[in-house]
Amino acid sequence: MKIFRNFDWILLFLVLGIAFLGIIILKSIIPSLVIQQLIWLGLGLVLFFIFSQIDYQNYRHFAWVFYFVSIFFLLITFILGRTVRGSVRWLEFGGFHLQPSEMVKPFLILFFAAFFSQEETINLKKLFYGLFLLIIPTALIFFQPDLGSSLIVIAFWLGIVLTKGIKTKWLFGIGSFLILFLPVSWHFLQDYQKQRISTFLNPQLDPLGSGFNVIQSIIAIGSGQFFGRGLGRGTQSHLSFLPERYTDFIFASLAEELGFLGTFILLSLFFFLLWRILNLAKNSCEQFAYLIYIGVFSLLFSQIIINLGMNLGILPVTGITLPLISYGGSSLVSTMIALGIIMGIDKDHDKKQMVEIR
């Protein structure tokens, strides 16, 4: 079949391996959610295959469309969005809930990759223009409020910019600005976000309140030991001591039931997936493609590191899901779209190599 010509089966194997490991854990801790997650995974795979068939050069022509459509969806969330626990992050469509802050991520990657690939080098004017374009979607996400997703957008923007290359003094200037802005940003945080930062600095400050999640997560991970307690036998997750055990803290649930061995398998799959993306980036034949690879790599890498960090208590809790593992349709579909995009680049590169050989 034409759809499977020049197909990167290694990438697909790694993606499905991670996703089904998430399904196994979800079935163990909350079986009622498995069918819905499988539906989202099926939809994600359909979109993965669709985007894998698109010539990535077409994205360059629609870069500004991606940007303004992303801004539109983020704005409309404040008007039509559904409020859950004080946050306005979801749009409801026929019983399904869509999180625009998740869905716009791959399209913002395409936009910034196209934006910064226009010139050979980044001058100061281009850098500040790109920074201004970053601030708009980041602010809209931040005030939903969704601190985690806004940090991820900043992370893949930085990944693209640093890969493109900027002068050290500019990088130092941006870093200095961010450091000086930190005290001011405290006043824009919601009360629960301030509590999370305080809890990160001292989880024992409120062990039955804001520090409860982190403490229970650390207990769950430690109790798994080498082989784990076994599927269905995790006390922290099954007795509901561990909050958000199927979303933000699903890694702790996995570590408790599958132990060090299970986490080693998961982290190995993540490592090889990220390594595969970097390897594809290294072999890319054009800068636009290279920046897309780096954007997707930065997206996944930052989410993995931040999620693992907050599960282990070494980073503040920011509500970031673990890619392909955590329950949630928007995150899963968004990740599959991003991976489908780089699959399309890989296939196009292989196609060009075949033409050159002929």
Domain ranges of the chain: 63-324
The DSSP H or E segment spanning 348 is: helix 329-357
Name the nearest CA neighbour of 135 among 186, 177, 92: 177
pLDDT of residue 284: 84
* pLDDT < 50 regions, the chain: 353-358
pLDDT of residue 79: 86
pLDDT of residue 224: 86
Q: CA torsion angle for 152, 154, 155, 161 (degrees, to 10)?
A: 150
pLDDT of residue 316: 82
Cα–Cα distance for residue pair 184/179, rounded to 1 Å: 10
Q: Which residues, in sequence order, are CB contacts of 164 under 8 Å at separation 6+? A: 116, 117, 121, 122, 291
pLDDT of residue 356: 39
Cα–Cα distance for residue pair 253/311, rounded to 1 Å: 10
Q: Where are the alpha helices (DSSP H) in 227-328?
A: 235-238, 250-282, 287-311
pLDDT of residue 196: 62
Indicate the SS3 state at residue 325: coil
Angle at 181 between CA 175 and CA 186, to 5 degrees: 135
How confident is the model over 122-132, as pLDDT tens digits? 888 888 899 99
Q: pTM (2 decimals)?
A: 0.89
154 and 138 in contact (C-beta within 8 Å)? yes
pLDDT of residue 35: 94
pLDDT of residue 127: 87
DSSP secondary structure of 152-194: HHHHHHHHHHHHH---HHHHHHHHHHHHHHHHHHGGGS-HHHH
pLDDT of residue 358: 32
pLDDT of residue 210: 56
Name the nearest CA neighbour of 19 among 246, 239, 353, 266: 266
Contacts 24+ apart (CB under 8 A), 29-38: 29/234, 29/237, 29/238, 29/245, 29/246, 29/253, 29/257, 30/245, 30/246, 30/327, 33/246, 33/327, 36/329, 37/327, 37/329, 37/332
